[in-house]
């Protein structure tokens, strides 16, 4: 009888410890959630600034963002700006989340398989576009991009000069590619390659590509080519495809065409 009572007490103590521990863990998780959310938002703003060549160590990220960046939501199909009166809990510039928008019944849509070179299956019907202003004039456009690599979906930004041809910045803020291989998309040296490359030719044809191997610097095509990632053929192909998807007609094509025509309405 004493042995049974001892076992019972041990189980009760163990259950009590587990109960208290679960409460502590839950409380800690709830307490940390706002901090984690804020850090995630700051990291996103940091990457927007980095794409626009505005980030430096030690700066006030939020202050720098508010001073230099403005944003708008565009209809992907038409390129037209969506008025603020049509914003809602999902579609707004403050809480814009590409994944949530793509998966939304209202704001997301399936991509026909033959058009889905980025391998994402669904895309938002509307996307946020960031602009960098200097002396009240637009100097750069920063466009969110995403698509499949080898192991993960890569999320990032590409910045175009006001001429809408020249690439001024490129970065990823989220991915799960292999460190040292596909993970070299984070390598500053590789990202710097993009700066100054031409996304389109003089006739507006999409030309930028990430090639397998190293581009021939003496070639007339070099201004459109980015060196591939060594040992990461599938990630290289994925980055090439996602960039070409988002700069093409199924991505920001209609918006870029409107801006080149001087009409952003």
CB 169 within 8 A of CB 50: yes
Rounded mean pLDDT, 232-238: 96
Q: What is the reported pLDDT for 2?
A: 53
pLDDT in tens, 24-80: 655 555 554 567 677 888 899 999 999 999 999 999 999 999 999 999 999 999 999
- DSSP codes, 3-14: HHHHHHHHHHHH
On the 0-12 / 13-18 / 19+ scale of CB atoms within 10 A, 1 is: exposed
Name 126's Cβ contacts closer than 8 Å, sequence gap at least 6. Answer: 73, 74, 75, 76, 82, 91, 101, 107
Rounded mean pLDDT, 9-13: 69
Write out the H or E segment, with its range, that includes residue 242. helix 233-247
The whole model's pTM is what?
0.85
- Measured distance CA(141)–CA(249) in Å, rounded: 17
- Measured distance CA(168)–CA(194) in Å, rounded: 7
Write out the H or E segment, with its range, that includes residue 119. none
Number of H helices, E strands in the chain: 6, 9
pLDDT bin (cut points 50, 70, 90) of residue 108 is very high
Q: What is the reported pLDDT for 18?
A: 73
Q: Tell whether the model's pLDDT for residue 94 goes beyond 70.
A: yes
Break the chain down into helix, strand, coil percent, rounded to 5: 40, 25, 35
- CA triplet 120, 126, 127: central angle to 5 degrees? 75
Looking at per-residue confidence, does 99 or 8 come out higher? 99
Q: Domain coordinates of the chain in residue numbers?
A: 50-260
pLDDT in tens, 133-166: 888 889 999 999 999 999 999 999 999 999 999 9
Print burial letters for 229-263: b (CB count within 10 Å at least 16), e (below 16).
beebebbbbbbbbbbbbbbeebbbbbbbebbeeee
- Measured distance CA(70)–CA(93) in Å, rounded: 10
Per the prediction, the chain carries an average pLDDT of 90
């Amino acid at each position: 009888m004493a042995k049974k009572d001892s076992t019972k007490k041990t189980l009760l103590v163990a259950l009590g410890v587990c109960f208290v521990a679960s409460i502590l863990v839950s409380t800690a998780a709830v307490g940390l959630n706002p901090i984690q959310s804020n850090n995630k938002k700051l990291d996103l703003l940091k990457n927007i600034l980095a794409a626009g060549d505005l980030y430096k160590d030690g700066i006030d990220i939020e202050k720098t963002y508010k001073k230099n960046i403005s944003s708008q939501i565009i209809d992907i199909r038409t390129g037209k700006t969506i008025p603020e009166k049509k914003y809602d809990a999902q579609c707004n510039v403050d809480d814009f989340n590409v994944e949530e928008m793509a998966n939304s019944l209202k704001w997301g849509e399936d991509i026909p398989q033959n058009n889905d070179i980025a391998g994402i299956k669904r895309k938002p019907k509307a996307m946020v576009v960031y602009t960098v202003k200097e002396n009240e004039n637009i100097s750069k456009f920063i466009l969110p991009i995403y698509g499949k690599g080898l192991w993960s979906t890569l999320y990032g930004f590409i910045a175009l000069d006001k001429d809408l041809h020249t690439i001024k910045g490129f970065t990823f803020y989220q991915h799960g590619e292999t460190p040292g291989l596909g993970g070299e998309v984070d390598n500053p040296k590789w990202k710097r390659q993009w700066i100054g490359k031409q996304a389109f030719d003089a006739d507006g044809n999409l030309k930028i590509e990430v090639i397998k191997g190293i581009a021939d610097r003496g070639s007339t095509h070099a201004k459109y080519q980015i060196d591939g990632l060594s040992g990461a053929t599938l990630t290289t192909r994925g980055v090439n495809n996602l960039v070409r998807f988002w700069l093409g007609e199924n991505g920001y094509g209609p918006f870029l065409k409107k801006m080149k025509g001087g009409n952003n309405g």
